[in-house]
Amino acid sequence: MIGGLFIYNHKGEVLISRVYRDDIGRNAVDAFRVNVIHARQQVRSPVTNIARTSFFHVKRSNIWLAAVTKQNVNAAMVFEFLYKMCDVMASYFGKISEENIKNNFVLIYELLDEILDFGYPQNSETGALKTFITQQGIKGQHQTKEEQSQITSQVTGQIGWRREGIKYRRNELFLDVLESVNLLMSPQGQVLSAHVSGRVVMKSYLSGMPECKFGMNDKIVIDKAGKGGVTNEAGKSDLGGGGSTSGKQSIAIDDCTFNQCVRLSKFDSERSISFIPPDGEYELMRYRTTKDIILPFRVIPLVREVGRTKLEVKVVIKSNFKPSLLAQKIEVRIPTPLNTSGVQVICMKGKAKYKASENAIVWKIKRMAGMKESQISAEIELLPTNDKKKWARPPISMNFEVPFAPSGLKVRYLKVFESKLNYSDHDVVKWVRYIGQSGIYETRC
């Protein structure tokens, strides 16, 4: 599988080096440094082949993680391992930086010994690793036989992501629906492409070994319910009230991936998400949808050229959600030509500033209610130029945060079952939150 794993800083110096197979020599370290990190042209592909050796790399801030192999391996699995390794390191010592890696290099070697065995990925579940590998070193010398047997059953058992005997005074579940909406719109207001990428992130503080059931307004489930095939397990209760802005009954999910704790057989047969939750924070699922997306904002641009030395720009933004909801952290970036000499800006709301270093007018609004509109006008003075090439007019981009799911996803029910301990679903305190953010949200002008 993986022949070796190397971690470099931005200079190409090796911070961590671990070789698992004899076919990977020390020259592989230099090959990656010379051909990727110090390459004259930027290497855009995450996979590089050098002298019949494959290098798979990911970059976190100024740190490079490279997995090396001479075999024909599954590339998706290698990248999944590298991303999981980043998550494990982040959960142990926070931000992945050169200083943190140098301060925790003994811990990282301990983790690599546990996660990879002869180049094959083993147990990478953070909760299980933290039971016997801590920042003070590996536990084991001062543990009782009972504690050691619990760890062994957790690592080698069927439920490796959760240990037995967890107890909380107050049982709580936090569920966040985090969505990123991406848009490319024409100047006339026609949607050229749009999709939503979403994540369901949970924090569970539950005693014992509970089983959870999570339901959403998936189109297939709703259609079955309409035909009498499926009933809502939550009865009349709906945890998603106020999350969506339209009376959308169901959403069509194009594709989704689940955490390893989810029972896929039940999802395939019943479309219900049933799982034994890990303790603490984890990502339950990822999904993507392209149909019937709620676009939180509409950008209407108007650009007029006055001769060759002046541009008049007017941009109107309209919010398209309930008046009772508030959008936050709104930022509109209006590009300007390279030969701009001066800009005069008038905006109705918020603050606008011309940033010459970024060739853009940046307009910031702290908050904006639904079904409102605001506008900005700018006069751009241009320097005379001999270049006959017309200005390319890059798209206007927008950033924002809204308190609903642009896909229309709703949490229909979230139930907890624990047979051994004396607490029921009604004793669990549940919190549901919806956050929609802009991804690449652009309008051509």
Binding site feature residues: 351, 353, 355, 364, 366
Amino acid at 48: T
Q: What are phi and psi of 14, to 5 degrees?
A: -80, 120
Burial class (CB in 10 A: 0-12, 13-18, 19+), 187: middle
Q: CA 154, CA 161: separation in Å to the nearest integer?
A: 7
Q: Amino acid letter at 14?
A: V
Buried b (16+ CB within 10 A) or exposed e, 73-101: beeeebbebbeebbebbeebbeebebebb
Quote the CA–CA distance of 276 and 286 in Å, as a whole number.
18
Of 4, 5, 7, the C-alpha closest to 97 is 7
Among 376, 348, 374, smallest CA distance to 361 is for 376
Distances (CA, A) of 430 to 113, 241, 426: 38, 14, 9
Residue whose pair of structure tokens reads 């970036």 in the numeric block? 333
